[in-house]
Amino acid sequence: MRNTFSQTLYECAKADPRIYIVVADISPAGSMAKFQTEYPERFINVGVAEQLMIGMAAGLALKGCRPFAYTIATFSLYRPFEMVRNDLGYQNLPVTVVGMGAGVIYSTLGGTHHSMEDIAIAGSIPNMQILAPCDPLEAIDATRHCATQDKGPIYLRIGKAGEPRLTENALEPFVFGKLRYLRKGNEVCILSYGVIMKKAIELADILQAKGQSVSVISCHTMKPLDRVGIETALRGHKKVIVIEEHVPQGGLAPQTKQIAWDIQAKCELYTFSLKDEFIHNYGSHDDLLAAHGISVPKILSAI
């Protein structure tokens, strides 16, 4: 997904001289290196200086540029939080803050490199929009949206490398602010976003093999959330399952529960989030998710 993001951004930036890429000492993956070589003036490496990365991006945006601030999620959002809030959110500037390798993808680097609370933190800032594509194809649409919108800051949560393509046969195109049905059924509905979507697909395959009619929805726009779409999903299925790579506070799970309460939904509702704790395990991404209680067998036994 990271390389797809880079390639898309490269293409957008070639066409639009207002696009600047401000990075904080992160190796330029894929086409980012090409952009750096071809447009050195529009590629700024501020070094290990994330507050400056956001502040400088704000300054560029104040002069009509469309900057992307890019580094590992915890460093792009947590370290410079007040800059993100004041310089981008308060001033409502069209800057994309890219949180790369969000969640617990950096599974061997430890908790300092995890961003398990980023949706809650970014989502709590007025004016901030959030996009979390689930696969490389959706990352193309999300990146293009960020590169062409003028409405304010976006937190773009992306994965790292090797994510499978999940949306090739999606039933609907990517539309900012709208849920996207990848599959449509009428019994079970799985709501998810970001790279953990692969678990949702795996689960759907198993349920469908058992003869159940399953919807799979990519909730790629985490803010503004498609409230009407979630209401429809809650009303249109007997069982709704939320799977997210995020702590239980402030993510999709509590927001779906709130909507379910507001409309007095009759469906069964199950949510699977990361634990509200720092874990000290290492291993693969799947190992980390399992340590947080998220695996397809565990979900199957719980629903």
Interface residues toward another protein, by CB under 8 A? 17, 20, 41-42, 44, 46-47, 49, 51-52, 54-65, 67, 82-83, 86-87, 90-91
Q: Which is nearer to another protein, 57 or 104 (CB)?
A: 57
Q: Which is nearer to another protein, 87 or 118 (CB)?
A: 87
Q: At 52, phi and psi to the nearest 5?
A: -65, -40
C-alpha angle 148-152-154 in degrees, rounded to nearest 5: 75
**In the complex, least distance from residue 22 CB atom to another protein, rounded to whole angstroms:** 8
**In the complex, least distance from residue 272 CB atom to another protein, rounded to whole angstroms:** 38
Q: Which is nearer to another protein, 89 or 103 (CB)?
A: 89
Using CA atoms, how far apart are residues 167 and 165, in angstroms rounded to an integer? 6
Q: Which is nearer to another protein, 58 or 233 (CB)?
A: 58
Using CA atoms, how far apart are residues 56 and 91, in angstroms rounded to an integer? 14
- Token pair, residue 217, equals 């929805």
**In the complex, least distance from residue 51 CB atom to another protein, rounded to whole angstroms:** 4
**In the complex, least distance from residue 65 CB atom to another protein, rounded to whole angstroms:** 5
| The residue type at 260 | A
Q: Which is nearer to another protein, 85 or 114 (CB)?
A: 85
Across-strand partners of 69? 22, 97
Rounded alpha-carbon distances, angstroms, from residue 196 to 24, 37, 86, 285, 295: 26, 34, 31, 10, 10
**In the complex, least distance from residue 120 CB atom to another protein, rounded to whole angstroms:** 22
